[in-house]
Amino acid sequence: MIQVSGLHKTYRSRGHDVRAVDGVDLHVREGEIYGVLGQSGAGKSTLLRCVNLLERPDSGTVEVDGVELTALPGRGLRAARHRLCMIHQHFALLSSRTAAGNVAFPLEVTGVPRAERHRRVAELLDLVGLTDRAGAYPAQLSGGQKQRVGIARALAAGPKVLLSDEATSALDPDTTRSILDLLLDLNRRLGLTILLITHEMDVVKTICQSAAVMRDGRFTEAGALTDLLREPGSELARGLFPLAAAQARDGESLLDVTVSGDSADEPLLSALARTLDIDVRLLDGGVQSLAATRAGRLRIGVTGDPAPAAAFLRDRGALVAS
Ligand SMILES: Nc1ncnc2c1ncn2[C@@H]1O[C@H](COP(=O)(O)OP(=O)(O)OP(=O)(O)O)[C@@H](O)[C@H]1O
C-alpha cells in the first residue's frame, strides 16, 4: 500500500546540513499497522511528511495505493493526497468550532452538499464513539475526546491510509490505550492501513504488526514483528522485552531465550528440565500477547553444559543467546 524507496531529505540549518532522512526504504502492506520507533530527532516526522508529500524529498520515490506521489505535479498531487490522512499529537482542532463542526470542515472545503455532510458527520462521530459530544467545543473535551474528533475529521474524505504523528504521546496511559484500541478497531472494520511514528515501545507492542527502528535518519531494522523477534541481536526484541541483569550461580550458565508464535505457548522450560535432567531457573522475563503474535523473552539459568540446552530450545523454535 505504501512503498518508499531510497528516500533522502536534508535540511540546511545554521550553515550546516542536517540529514533528517538518509536513505529510507519502507514497505507497508495493505491493511497493516506499521510503527516507526525512534528517539526525538531521529527523522520520524520528516519521513511522515515526505510520505504525504507535505515535504518534497530531495530524492527517492513514494508510492501510495499504486500511485507514485513523487511523480505528480501540484494539482494531481492534491487529488491523490485524498488517499491519505493524518492525525497529530496536539490534535490541531479549530477552537471556534464544535466537534461536529471540526469533522464537517474538510467536507465543506471539498464542497460536499449540506444534507450529505450532516449524514457523514453523524456517521463519523458514531464511528469514534462521540455522538453525545457532537455539540461540544474543543475546550470542553478531554484529550482523548479531542483525539477522537481528530480521527473522525481525518477519516472524512474516506482515505485508505492513516498517518499518525505521535497521536498518543500527549495522553495518559488509560486514554492512550483507548485511542490505540480505536485505531485497531478502525484498522479491522474499515481495512484502514496505518503508518504511525512513536517513541513509545508500548504503542508498537500493542497495535503494530510491523515496525522499524529509526536512528539518525536511517532504519536500523525493519520488518514484520514476528520476523524481527527471530533476528539475533534485534534491538526491537530487546526493547519490547527488556531483561534485568542476573548473576549465574556456580555450575550454572545463563541463556536468553526469545519465543514467538507457537513456541511462546509451549511448556518449553519444563520439557527442557525433564528431557535433559537439569535444573532450570527462571531469572526474568515473560510472554505476552502482541498485535501480531504471542511472544516473549526469558533469561534462564541452566546447570551443566549449556550447549545441549540451547540446542533443545532452538529445535523447538526458540532463539537462544548466551
Ligand atoms: N524544517 C526544518 N529545518 C531544519 N531542520 C529540521 C527541520 N525539520 C526537522 N529538522 C531536523 O531534522 C532532524 C529530524 O527531525 P524530525 O522532526 O524529523 O525528527 P523526529 O524523529 O520526528 O523527532 P521529534 O519527535 O522530536 O519531532 C532533526 O535534527 C531536526 O532538528
Task: Tell me the mean pLDDT per 10 residues along the chain, length 322.
Answer: 96 91 97 96 96 94 93 84 90 95 95 95 96 96 96 94 94 94 95 96 93 97 89 87 91 93 88 95 92 89 94 94 86
Q: Which residues line ligand 1 (CB under 6 A)?
A: 11, 13, 18, 20, 38, 40-46
β-pair type (161-165, 193-198): parallel
**What is the rounded end-to-end Cα distance, in angstroms, of the chain?**
39
Give me ligand 1 centre to Cα 306, in Å. Answer: 46
Give me ligand 1 centre to Cα 98, in Å. Answer: 32
**pLDDT at position 191:** 94
Identical fold for domains 2-228 and 243-321, yes or no, is no
CA angle 312/275/250 to nearest 5° reads 80
Alpha carbon distance 129, 301 (integer Å): 49
- Domain 2-228 CATH (choose: 3.90.330.10, 2.40.50.140, 3.40.50.300, 3.30.70.20): 3.40.50.300
* CA proximity to 318, closest of 275, 262, 272, 258: 258
Please name the residue whose Cα sits nearest to atom 2 of ligand 1: 11
If one counts every other C-beta atom within 10 angstroms of the C-beta of residue 274, the result is 11
**Strand locations in 89-201 (E):** 161-165, 193-198
The enclosing H or E element of 140 equals: none
Give me ligand 1 centre to Cα 46, in Å. Answer: 6
ipTM for the assembly:
0.92
Give me ligand 1 centre to Cα 56, in Å. Answer: 14
43: left (phi over 0), alpha (psi -120 to 50) or beta: left
**pLDDT at position 49:** 95
- The residue to mutate among 9, 44, 47, having the most atoms of ligand 1 within 8 angstroms of its beta carbon, is 44
- The residue to mutate among 10, 11, 37, having the most atoms of ligand 1 within 8 angstroms of its beta carbon, is 11
What residues does each domain of the chain span?
Answer: 2-228, 243-321
- The residue to mutate among 7, 10, 17, 18, having the most atoms of ligand 1 within 8 angstroms of its beta carbon, is 18
Cell of 245: 541483569
Burial category of 284 from C-beta neighbours within 10 Å (exposed 0-12, middle 13-18, buried 19 and up): middle
Alpha carbon distance 37, 168 (integer Å): 13
Give me ligand 1 centre to Cα 11, in Å. Answer: 9
β-pair type (33-37, 210-215): parallel
**pLDDT at position 322:** 83
Residue 13 CA: nearest ligand 1 atom is: 4
Fold of the domain spanning 243-321: Alpha-Beta Plaits (3.30.70)
If one counts every other C-beta atom within 10 angstroms of the C-beta of residue 72, the result is 16
Give me ligand 1 centre to Cα 277, in Å. Answer: 55
Residue 38 CA: nearest ligand 1 atom is: 21
